[in-house]
Amino acid sequence: MAPKILDGKALSKTIRIELKKEIDTLTFVPTLAVILVGDDPASAVYVSGKERDCHKVGINSILHRLPAGIHEDTVRQLVSSLNDDPQVDGILIQLPLPSHLDEDTLVGSILPQKDVDGFLAVNQGLTLMGNPHALQPCTPMGVMELLTRNQIPIAGREAVVVGRSMTVGKPVAALLTNANATVTLCHSRTRNLQSHVERAEILVVAAGKRGVVDSSWIQPGAVVIDVGIHRLESGELTGDLDHTTLADRASAFTPVPGGVGPMTRTMLLKNTLKAAKSRRNIL
Ligand code: NAP
């Protein structure tokens, strides 16, 4: 049987329609403030994509574009004023920042209730605890939506996550654990990665390197989420895995592009709405 494609683009569209419907019923307009420092072309493209996404679902997005050489105190003052601004529901600092700025300090200065990227320790902790008030990190949240909305059973299954970053691997492992999977979290110091991957009924690969996981290791019938994004010399986008072999073995898998990427963007919108509602005590 042909594997099921876990189509993040189509699912994002569905979720965005749901979000727009809900936002249209509100008596206020959720607002996202985006801070872009410098003129890195890739960051500018990401930010304009986020602004477009917001606009389409009825979220107001306000861009604060700052010069590359800006002093850290000035950025901190801006974050502080956005924290205090009752009109602002979510704050996003586009990363990476120029090297003279301390990302951890600046991101850490965002009010947890406005941390729509879900990067702050408070939100990571609440995510780990399975607390429903957490603003969860967007990519892990998107991975879980891809699984649950495609009716992939999770409870009791062997899940293997490759990669332990705070933005992807660790929170994915936490969310899968909260959904009652039995989770193995692998990283660059894992011995015999193949033996772990072979056990996976659900495999999430977020190593950021092609070829770390050989698709021939994947057990027939496994569900595979490929988080990696790489641009080949040809300009084509691809994931961490070889998708030709993957398609022969998996029962379901995410394409690249069109899998996790669009879900990450959509989860930012979902978090902005969630932040806007919870600041107003709307459940
Ligand atoms: P990261 O911070 O570089 O983390 C990579 C992780 O992979 C680390 O934990 C590292 O282990 C592990 N790793 C590296 N080599 C390995 C090996 N040989 N065997 C086992 N584990 C290995 O990357 P990230 O931010 O999590 O992102 C991962 C990938 O996802 C990247 O390609 C990124 O572009 C992509 N991404 C996509 C989206 C999306 O929306 N689709 C969002 C975020 C990220 P150590 O901890 O031991 O170093």
- What is the maximum span of the chain, computed from C-alpha positions, in angstroms? 58
Q: Whose CA is nearest to atom 8 of ligand 1?
A: 163
Q: Which of 263, 277, 235, 2 is nearest to 146 (CA)?
A: 263
Domain 27-111, CATH among 3.10.310.10, 3.40.50.11540, 3.40.50.2300, 3.40.50.10860: 3.40.50.10860
87 is a catalytic site residue: no
Instruction: Determine if ligand 1 sits within 6 Å of the CB of residue 173.
Output: no
Task: Mark 247-271 as b/e (b = at least 16 C-beta within 10 Å).
Answer: eebbbbbbbbebbbbbbbbbbbbbb
H, E, C per residue of 106-122: HHHCCCHHHECCCCCHH
pLDDT tens for each residue of 202-245: 999 999 999 999 999 999 999 999 999 999 999 999 999 999 99
214 annotated active-site = no
At a CB cut-off of 8 Å and minimum separation 6, what does 76 contact? Answer: 105, 106, 109
Provide the pLDDT for residue 94: 98
Confidence band, pLDDT 50/70/90 cuts, at residue 10 = very high
Q: What's the mean per-residue pLDDT of the chain?
A: 97
Q: What topology does CATH give the domain 137-261?
A: Rossmann fold (3.40.50)
- Strand partners of residue 204: 161, 225
Asked if pLDDT for residue 1 goes beyond 90, the answer is no
> For residue 98, what pLDDT is reported?
97
Let me know if 50 is a catalytic residue: yes
CB distance 173 to 205 below 8 Å: no
d(CA 135, CA 112): 8
Q: Which residues partner with 225 through β-bridges?
A: 204
Q: Which of 89, 94, 113, 114 is the catalytic position?
A: 94
pTM listed for this prediction: 0.98
Tokens describing residue 143: 């991975």
Coil, helix or strand at residue 205: strand
The answer to whether 243 and 256 are in contact (CB under 8 A) is yes
pLDDT 10s digits, 139-188: 999 999 999 999 999 999 999 999 999 999 999 999 999 999 999 999 99
Neighbours of 131 (CB within 10 A): 13
Ligand 1 and 245: CB distance under 6 A: no
pLDDT for the residue 257: 97
Q: Which of 89, 115, 117, 240 is catalytic?
A: 117
Domain boundaries, the chain: 27-111, 137-261
Residue with CA nearest ligand 1 atom 16: 188
Q: What is the side-by-side strand order in the sheet with 31-37? A: 60-66, 31-37, 90-93
Q: What pLDDT digit, counting tens, does each position of 97-115 carry?
A: 999 999 999 999 999 999 9
Give the model's pLDDT for residue 283.
Answer: 81
- Would the CB of 8 count as within 6 Å of ligand 1? no
Specify the pairing of strand 252-253 against strand 4-5: parallel
> Would you say 134 and 173 are in contact if contact means Cβ atoms under 8 Å apart?
no
Task: Give residue-wise pLDDT tens across range 76-98.
Answer: 999 999 999 999 999 999 999 99
